[in-house]
């Protein structure tokens, strides 16, 4: 186990954070397990997960507004969405 800990420390903080977030999103680890395994602060993981959530919500809102804009043309008739 000692060797494994040293290997983790050689990996950059950013790479460990990305691995932790990936494992959480994919359902492999819970937050406390990811903190322990990757030695990344829980607050940092939570902050990144919130940023991801906000970006996804923004993209969904953008997609919804584009779909509504395409669905109705200037005369008010409904066009076919493709």
Residue range 2-16, pLDDT digits in tens: 556 666 567 899 999
0.85 cut: is pTM over it? no
* pLDDT tens digits, 31-45: 999 999 999 999 999
Residue 5 is inside which H or E element, if any? helix 2-10
- HSE-up (13 A, CA, CB side) for residue 40: 26
């Amino acid at each position: 186990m000692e060797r494994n800990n040293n290997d983790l420390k050689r990996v950059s903080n950013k790479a460990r954070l990305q691995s932790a977030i990936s494992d959480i999103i994919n359902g492999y680890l819970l937050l406390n397990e990811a903190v322990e395994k990757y030695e990344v602060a829980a607050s940092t993981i939570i902050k990144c997960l919130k940023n991801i959530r906000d970006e996804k919500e923004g993209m969904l809102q953008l997609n919804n507004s584009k779909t509504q804009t395409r669905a109705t043309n200037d005369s008010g008739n409904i066009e076919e969405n493709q």
